Amino acid sequence: MTRTRADAMFRTALRVGSRGLLALGRALYGLEIHGREHLPAHGPLVLVVRLNARISVFAAAFLYATLDEFYGFAGGAFIVNTRPAMWLSERMGMLPTYKGGGLSALPLVEAFKRLRRGKIIFVTASRDLPWDGRLGPIPHGAVWLALRAGAPLVAVAVQGDYDIWPRWASRPRLRGKLVIRVGEPFRVSDAPAGTVTDAMLEEANGRLRAEVEAASAGYLLPPKPVGARA
């Protein structure tokens, strides 16, 4: 069996399995998906997904069932320790990062190259899952990619996941309501930027945060008061 044929079979199996997971989400949690039509079939695109809890499998299933090809980031320890993990990560579109770090220079450059080739890049809105369900600081990696490549962004929010399986809980609840809401594409630059300044990053990240909050409408806790304990 050729590698191309094996890859095609794996992608088909992944899509079928993802559709099965979505069916399970509908049965258990009444999963609804709003704004699916906002996702283009091809890039370049930076897809920013807000995850609040440990039940992120349904968001992943949605992306694998909907998009023909996209690339995201996975921890370096998972990528490089074993050959099976490397094979699996490559076919699932996961790009390596480095243990203990977020999106450092090398992973961002690799993602930028794929954006320039018309691919879709997936980035989470926060480095870590929140303990309290609030939207934390959004790293600048997503908007740096969008500015450098002149690519549009789409914000996606998973609503209800924190109520089902918050980070501090040992197991998920078997009842609840899940909604995946996809925002409309938007741009932070009309053309690729040869140089990205701190001011550009701050302005673009403010727009991204506003879009993530809009996708989270109705399921957005107010910011934690300054000086409040975690």
Q: From residue 40, how far is each of 53, 74, 94, 134, 230 by CA, in Å?
A: 26, 23, 20, 29, 38
Structural class in CATH, domain 3-215: alpha beta
- Sequence-distant (6+) residues with CB within 8 A of 163 are 173, 176, 177
pLDDT at 74: 57
Distance, CA of 141 to CA of 157 (rounded, Å): 18
pLDDT at 106: 76
pLDDT at 24: 96
CB distance 58 to 180 below 8 Å: yes
pLDDT at 213: 94
Distance, CA of 210 to CA of 76 (rounded, Å): 31
Q: What is the mean pLDDT of each run of 10 residues along the chain (230 residues)?
A: 71 92 96 95 93 89 91 57 62 63 70 93 88 89 95 95 92 93 95 93 96 88 57
